[in-house]
Structure 1
Amino acid sequence: MLQTLTFSASRNTIMKFGTSSFSCVVRLLLGFFSALSFSAAISSQALSFGGANSYYLYAYRTNDQIRVLDAMQAAGMKTLRIFITHNWVNQKGSNNYAVSDVESPVGVYDDTILSMIDTLMLRTQQRGIKLIIALHDRYSLGCWSSDAYVLKYKIPVSSDCGSRPSDNDLTAFYKSADAAADMDRRFAHIVAHRNPNFGNLPWSNIPEAILGFDIQNEGQGHLRNGDIPNRNWICERASQLKPRLATGVLVVSGGGADIWDSALDEHFKCPYIDVISVHSYAASSWASALPPVIQKATSYGKRVIVEEFGSTGLSTKAAGLRSQIAVFQNLGIPWMVWQVNKPNNYDDFEVFTTDTASWSVLSNGAKAAIGLQGAFSWPELTSGGAPEPNVVVNRPPSPTPSSPKKMPPTSGNNKCNKCNVPLCRGGCWCDNNCDCKPGSGGDTCDKCNIPQSQGGCKCDNVCGCKPASCWS
């Protein structure tokens, strides 16, 4: 049966697509490329799909986690992307557990976070959703957050990574053989972790639940003047990771801070990378910048996924999502929105079912993508884009992280564009120029002198919280 979905594109044209409109897709590609055509590269078995990021969903409390997963399943989403990184309690008002990173100090492993993901992995697989797991987050390297690598390698930390990226100089880190070896050992430890819910198999050999591993979220992104200290770093890490993975578990690049650094030549030329993931929050760039990426991927035998995109605003979020998804659908490229979060936050890139207009756009788009002819084949997914869920009789117990402490969540923003939003909904305290100072949140403000990236909080001159705080 023909399934047709209509989106309003950014150029205010109406684009329709469905299961039998492959020729329409090709005509649109021809429009993007003028004389170039992808028709020879798109196989009859190629497909597309929609998914979402929810990078710390494993740390959600059981009922909330299940509610999010059920909503994603009902919306037709087929992939979920998460990060292995430390998380504060109640980030963005999510009522989640606090959990430490998998290693602290470097090389000393605590598998609490991996065990929490074991549980999430079963629940996603039961719902026909596959995981993409980012093995490390670049922004934990002294840019909005700091992990054990910052201490060991004396990485300079930026107190305001948006306006002062030059403070967070990672040149030495990304060129360090010792740091690279430490990161490779981290990756090897993670993929060797065994999940008791899947016959005690290592993560490296669970293709029924894991679509792939990101080398690093936005590796080398957001550095001073757009510098890339080591353009081969992702490929070098992939060369060590790829031999550890079973067939059907992909190596994914992890994206960059924008389209240009997501699509470095070195990623396409790397024989160990399967999928080039592209990130951008410049909605107007997709229609012109994404087609050349697809062309290059085709020539190098790679695949492409839009791994991060989003939209904000009470009155603009739904339309922004709709116009971007229209471009992806017409190019036949899978997409993953940033990000599904409970609760929804209109003033940031989070979205949930309470934003009925935006959620409807995501659901309609994901369901349409399942029957949409795609630019690349994804044999790891069954026909129509849906992973084949295995039948699992017993559900595991709820995750029980060790001694979560009530700590203020970091806002993750530099310019305070959310001055009037409560802290526990993603807001932050600002000065008269709407600029953030180091730290925000906390009910007793006993950490006034600790940078926000380290869990500190911004306080008034008597070290007290203001009335609007969710932590007061």
Structure 2
Amino acid sequence: MKPFSCFTALLFGLSSLGTSLAAKSFSASNLYYAAGLKDSQSTTLLQGLQSAGVKVLRVWLDGQSGSPKATPINSFNSLQGDSPSAWDDTVLNRLDTFMVKAHGYGIKLIISIHSYNALEGNSDFYGKWYGTGDFYTNTAAISQFKDRIAHVMAHVNPTNGKKWSQSSEYIFAFEAQNEAMHPQGNPTALASWQCTMAQSIKNNLNGNTGILVTTGGGAYLANSLLDSYFSCSALDVLAIHAYGVGDFETSKLKSYVDKAKNAGKKLIMQEWGACYTDASNNNCNGGSAISTSTRDSNIRKWAASIDAAGIPWFYWQILPNADPHSGWDYEVGINDVNWSALKQAGLAAGKADSAFDFSRWLL
């Protein structure tokens, strides 16, 4: 072979190797009441998620009862009740079993340690004592929330005999709070709180780099990614919550991808969804049902746009039952209307190139 041809072949081989080794993206989902699922429900859910290529499921520690999203669950109380010492570990014990089962389907969990929803709804002492404003600035509240973080991460799963902080085989990431300070009336205080709590999580990980630390998103793209988050050393992952279709645009997302890479951070689209009705996608409450084919197209199109930006995504939400189509209606039930389209999108995400390499944190 001529020298030029050899050189060309070598370049082509190196190029092909680089392409084959490119980090791949993944799909994921949310189910805030996963701790309440009965065994048959969790089997249906996990089998369905696995069939759609889902690698991570995000769960919460707030109490739930009744039939949220038409899922009749085994009720459980919030992790904390009316005082800092009113611990109820039922939710942790339930998730011990669930995370082991999820592992068998190749799925890890994001643990959301608290939710702004619980704070706003006064469902535990944080909301009752401090409200949605003082919670983020009151020194006692900050200290008590650090105790909550420590309590969660010191919980021992009896299956592996390890603390959650060391259970990287089951847990993908911890976040302090879902949609912290949702209206963001005091972004300076929020930024300080977010980094303080991320550092508390890091401290409790005690050097374990097998579990990531993430934010819990905001109300839309820009306020999910405050400038100060990019300079907080304790944050590994910045989570985007977005439902406005403009926030799904590849070009808009890519500007944040570049910013994150330059800051040594990773991004995930931690919440997004396609409205079941003709209401505005970022205000999916009411309206008339759109055609199945239109919603299928929206799911595939918007997922592909997020894929093209190189960001893994978490759909809000995949249910183990038919979607009841009530209230804010982004959900898709396994084997229900629009499931095929979402499953296709999930599998496509796993084949897409990612701007961020999450491979060491996935099963």
Match of 2:214 in 1: 252
Q: 1:292 aligns with which of 255, 259, 265?
A: 255
Equivalences for residues 86-165 of structure 1 within 5 A:
86-104=63-81, 105-143=83-121, 146-153=123-130, 155=131
Judge conservation of contact 2:220–2:247 (CA < 8 Å) in 1: no
Match of 1:351 in 2: 332
Match of 1:261 in 2: 223
Q: Which amino acid aligns with 2:266?
A: R
Distance between the aligned counterparts of 1:322 and 1:284, measured in 2?
A: 15
SS in 1 for 2:159: helix
Q: Which amino acid aligns with 2:92?
A: L
Q: What is the CA deviation profile of residues 401-420 of structure 1, one whole-angstrom value per residue up to 9, with x for unaligned ones?
A: xxxxxxxxxxxxxxxxxxxx
Q: 1:171 aligns with which of 128, 133, 140?
A: 133
Distance between the aligned counterparts of 1:44 and 1:228, measured in 2?
A: 40
Q: 2:266 aligns with which of 303, 328, 333?
A: 303
Q: 1:330 to 1:230 in 2, by over 3 A?
A: closer
Q: Which amino acid aligns with 2:179?
A: E
Distance between the aligned counterparts of 1:111 and 1:285, measured in 2?
A: 38
Q: What is the CA deviation profile of residues 233-255 of structure 1, one whole-angstrom value per residue up to 9, with x for unaligned ones?
A: 11011111112222210001111
1:116 shift after superposition: 0.4
- Count of residue correspondences: 325
Equivalences for residues 181-200 of structure 1 within 5 A:
181-198=143-160, 200=161
Q: 2:352 aligns with which of 368, 372, 376?
A: 372
Q: Please, what TM-score do these two structures have when normalized by structure 1? A: 0.65
1:369 shift after superposition: 2.1
Q: Please, what TM-score do these two structures have when normalized by structure 2? A: 0.84
Match of 1:271 in 2: 233
Distance between the aligned counterparts of 1:63 and 1:151, measured in 2?
A: 36
Distance between the aligned counterparts of 2:175 and 2:302, measured in 1?
A: 23
Q: What is the CA deviation profile of residues 418-469 of structure 1, one whole-angstrom value per residue up to 9, with x for unaligned ones?
A: xxxxxxxxxxxxxxxxxxxxxxxxxxxxxxxxxxxxxxxxxxxxxxxxxxxx
Q: What is the CA deviation profile of residues 179-202 of structure 1, one whole-angstrom value per residue up to 9, with x for unaligned ones?
A: 11111110110011000112x101
Q: RMSD of aligned C-alpha atoms? A: 2.1
1:274 shift after superposition: 0.4
Judge conservation of contact 2:299–2:345 (CA < 8 Å) in 1: no
Q: Does 1:204 align with 2:183?
A: no
1:58 shift after superposition: 1.9
Q: 2:309 aligns with which of 331, 339, 344?
A: 331
Distance between the aligned counterparts of 1:327 and 1:345, measured in 2?
A: 28
Distance between the aligned counterparts of 1:101 and 1:228, measured in 2?
A: 29
Distance between the aligned counterparts of 2:253 and 2:138, measured in 1?
A: 32
Distance between the aligned counterparts of 2:57 and 2:342, measured in 1?
A: 14
Judge conservation of contact 1:211–1:380 (CA < 8 Å) in 2: no
SS in 1 for 2:181: coil
Q: 1:352 to 1:128 in 2, by over 3 A?
A: same
Match of 1:61 in 2: 38
Match of 1:75 in 2: 52
SS in 2 for 1:100: coil
SS in 2 for 1:174: coil
Distance between the aligned counterparts of 2:138 and 2:182, measured in 1?
A: 17
1:227 shift after superposition: 5.8
Among the aligned pairs, what percent are the same residue? 32
